[in-house]
Structure 1
Amino acid sequence: MTRVLEFITALIIVAVLAVVVGVLMPSTGHVQRTTMVSKDIRDVYDVFNNFRRFKDYAVLRAYDPSLTYSLEGKAYGPGAAISWTSNVPKVGNGRLEIVSADPGFADVADQGSATIVWKVQNDWPGHNKRFTIDMERAGRGKRLVKVTWSYDVDYGWNLLDRYSNLYIHGTPDSMVQYSLGNVQDMLAGVPNIMYDDLNPKLVDTPEQPVLYVSTEAKRNLTEVDAATATAMTQIQDAMKKLGVKQAGPRIIFTTNYGDQSYKFDVAVPIDTSTLKIDGQDYALTAPVVPTLENPNSASSAPAADASAAMSASAAEPAAAASADKMAKADGKKGKGDKADEDTGPKPGSRDKYGHLIVDKNVRGMLAFGGRALEASWTGNPAGIPPTRLKLEAYAATHGYATDTVMHRFYDKQMVAYESKKPDGSEVLYDEQTFDVFLPVTDAPKETPEQEAGLTDQPQSASSAPADASSAPASASSAAAAASSDAPADAESAN
């Protein structure tokens, strides 16, 4: 009996000590990790003020590759949330929600510091769990951003939760540490350009029939303007032969913006999606992905376009005859050119992307159709490449999915050089207006700027967009306006 009493007494003493120690332990828990990021503060702020990139940097995926995420609430700012489910105990089920972001996105660049708070809901002990991300400019010239990611929790008088504070440097700490490191790596892939002066919007773009010419030029304004003017002349000649009219401003599709050269397509919207070549009707179709089995075939086109492709194949003999007639009518082609035409693509046939071949240089297709991130630029064309980079960086930090191989950047010349202003004067070379587009494959309904009513307003020097007669200017006049050493890339234009 004495031993039983001693055992009970020992248990009571241990319990009392446990209670006393528990009471003396802190009622809150806190861990934090800090890193330096070589990016603009707006880039970092935008990444943490939405959850569309969370799956790309959160360490949870490393613990459970089959983890599933679900975006909830708003797309950006307070109210945005993400939840996850997992069968791995270390990950479990959880939810994060942005509860505050100070200051707003429009003021963070001027203020130079910001704080974003996430509400944490998972099976970690305690209540009022939250992540806090503090950002401030740092380093020489304030070119770096100091990012501090903290985890805080309240335990109250729950003694078991207070004891769990001994393990706060386990899963919570590792999630903060490794995720913060992944954020740094992810931001390294974002174009290094400030976009705080950009007010883009997400728009729906209907399909538009266009004629286009693929071209290439050295990367300076004079060469690009000359190549564009030549392509426009070829398109205008084809439009006259086809009997179609221009139905919108000139468009430039960017294929490859290299270090030394620029490959692009010059396109003109037209008023019909059906072209008549040598008496045969051909329907313009959207681009298709070439198949690996036969990359020169457009057999991967949608079933709806199959009949158009078949009619194109059936009309190839007539198309060949049409090519001969066109060559004779032009009266400008020598024997070498004629031979090239005989062995080259025939009008009425299609290339590997399903584009309709109109003549030696001109192709036709249905462009656009889908969503795009749009921004406006007023000035000479040297400002277009930086605008493209800004859109790319913006899409990356906001988590908008893009594919610039199949869905290329493009810009529309809304106000052309030498077009007329309302007062009758001519638009100067540095007064042109361009709308720049980055197609997106996954994005929310609106950008934060759209929700706040801060998007770029249409800028126009005339009541109508540039037409074939005014866009672009002739190569000679464009060259006179733009010096050959004018900036044409993002680095020199800024």
Structure 2
Amino acid sequence: MMRIFEMLVALLIVFALAVLVGLVLPDHGHIERRVEVPSPARQVYDTINGFRRFPQYTGLRAFDPAMQTTLGGPEAGVGSKISWTSSVPKVGDGSLTITKSTQDSDVTMTLDNDWIGTNKTYNLTITPSPKGRTVYVTESYDVDYGWNLLWRFGGLYINGDPSAVVQGSLASLAAMMAGFPNTDYSNQDISVVEITAKPVLLVNTRAPRSLDEVADATAQAKEKIEAVLKKTGLTQSGPMLTITTEWGDENYTFAVAIPVDQTSFTLDGHSFTIDAPAPKADADDDSADAGQPLVAGDRDKKGLLVVDDNVRAALWYQGLALYTEYTGSAAQLPLVRLNHKAYAETHGYRYSEAGLGRPWDEDVSDPGAADDQRTFRVYLPITR
């Protein structure tokens, strides 16, 4: 009997000590990690201010590469949400919701999962590094334990799974962003617009990367299209398009296109219908099919309708596109296009730059505008 009493007293003492220790343990948990990213602040902010890229960089993937995610709320900013499900206990089911964001500065998210504690939040801050060409991304995790002593003891292990997720997320974020075009698009107005398909006549061409050479090639292609307009009775129905195929180190490969007012026309007594291209399986470039005697009505490798000489016809792109109206020298258009690609990457939009996914711009300059005061509408086809 005495031994039992002694055991009970010992257990009571241990319990009392545990309670005393629990009472002095912190009622709040905090961890913080930092990574240096060689990207502009706006790129980092746009990447973390929404969840379209989250599945690619979250540290939860290290525990369950097969976790399933669902997006909710607006695409970016306050209210944007992602939920996930997983059969792996370390991941489980949960969600993140953005509750605060300050452009190019910080983003705060609330966490809802089965980790211990309440008021669980992530805060990511962006600060310029002393080098000036990189930024620091700091991610912190905060949680309240209140008077729940078991949670306070559990908080001793905050450097376990929570820390691993934060560290893994930051490392993956930096690695992912290293593959984005390193360009600052913060001063470029970029929006997502819906494009309606339109029939065009086009000529594929190439020129050395100089404004004069490109202008000469454009003029020659335009002359060929205008000759076909006269033969077919079609009428130009909008500004000329320059469709980019490849901006190479030395040469610029592109197509000059003119939209027309009808999807059908007659040439040499034959009727033709302009429709979307149907590329052949062996299509490998945008040049004319060398050595093949193509005639009006045939399809080239890219599925474009052959009209006359090097002139092709197609129903050009329908769907979403990134859009910018730019005024300045045409020499800056490659940078505008590159900014579109970077924007697409940070926002999780897909783009292909092949077929109808190729970027294009429209010259809507006033007649007689100076070379450095021309106005262009620049587009990059995307899918969400």
What is the letter of the counterpart of residue 130 of structure 1? T
What is the letter of the counterpart of residue 158 of structure 1? N
- 1:403/1:441 contact within 8 Å kept: no
Residue aligned with 1:358, SS: strand
Match of 1:120 among 92, 95, 111: 111
Structure 1 residues 170, 435: closer, same or farther in 2, change over 3 A? same
What is the letter of the counterpart of residue 410 of structure 1? W
What is the letter of the counterpart of residue 412 of structure 1? E
Deviation at 1:4, TM superposition (A): 1.4
Residue aligned with 2:253, SS: strand
Deviation at 1:37, TM superposition (A): 1.2
What is the letter of the counterpart of residue 226 of structure 2? Q
Deviation at 1:343, TM superposition (A): 5.0
Q: Bigger shift: 279-288 or 357-366? A: 279-288
Residue aligned with 2:277, SS: coil
Corresponding residue of 1:376: 325
CA–CA separation in structure 2 for the residues paired with 1:21 and 1:379: 68
Once the two structures are superposed, the pairs formed by residues 50-89 of structure 1 within 5 Å of their partners are: 50-89=50-89
Corresponding residue of 1:17: 17
Residue aligned with 2:186, SS: coil
What is the letter of the counterpart of residue 19 of structure 2? V
- 1:200/1:375 contact within 8 Å kept: yes
- 1:254/1:408 contact within 8 Å kept: yes
Match of 1:277 among 267, 281, 288: 267
Cα deviation 1:304-350 (Å, max 9, x = unaligned): xxxxxxxxxxxxxxxxxxxxxxxxxxxxxxxxxxxx99952111111
CA–CA separation in structure 2 for the residues paired with 1:68 and 1:38: 30
Root mean square deviation of aligned Cα: 1.6
Unaligned runs of 5+ in 1: 109-113, 297-339, 420-425, 443-494
CA–CA separation in structure 2 for the residues paired with 1:263 and 1:251: 14
1:393 and 2:342 aligned: yes
CA–CA separation in structure 2 for the residues paired with 1:354 and 1:391: 27
1:410 and 2:360 aligned: yes
Residue aligned with 1:345, SS: coil
Corresponding residue of 2:130: 139
CA–CA separation in structure 2 for the residues paired with 1:132 and 1:46: 15
Deviation at 1:190, TM superposition (A): 1.4
CA–CA separation in structure 1 for the residues paired with 2:325 and 2:345: 19
What is the letter of the counterpart of residue 89 of structure 2? P
Once the two structures are superposed, the pairs formed by residues 208-219 of structure 1 within 5 Å of their partners are: 208-219=198-209
Deviation at 1:289, TM superposition (A): 4.2
Corresponding residue of 2:193: 203
CA–CA separation in structure 2 for the residues paired with 1:183 and 1:85: 21
**Larger proportion of helix:** 1
1:151 and 2:100 aligned: no
Residue aligned with 2:164, SS: helix
What is the letter of the counterpart of residue 207 of structure 1? A
Deviation at 1:62, TM superposition (A): 3.1
Corresponding residue of 1:49: 49
Corresponding residue of 1:469: none
Once the two structures are superposed, the pairs formed by residues 94-493 of structure 1 within 5 Å of their partners are: 94-102=94-102, 105=103, 108=104, 114-140=105-131, 142-291=132-281, 295=282, 344-406=293-355, 407-415=357-365, 419=367, 426-442=368-384
Q: Bigger shift: 24-33 or 1-10? A: 1-10
Residue aligned with 2:230, SS: helix
Deviation at 1:280, TM superposition (A): 2.4
Cα deviation 1:391-422 (Å, max 9, x = unaligned): 11111112222222230110011115xx1xxx
- TM-score normalized by the length of structure 1: 0.74
Residue aligned with 2:308, SS: coil
Matched length: 378
- 2:231/2:267 contact within 8 Å kept: no
Unaligned runs of 5+ in 2: 284-288
* Identical aligned residues as a percent: 42
**Larger proportion of strand:** 2
What is the letter of the counterpart of residue 165 of structure 2? M
CA–CA separation in structure 2 for the residues paired with 1:341 and 1:405: 20
Deviation at 1:431, TM superposition (A): 1.7
Residue aligned with 1:177, SS: helix
Deviation at 1:166, TM superposition (A): 1.6
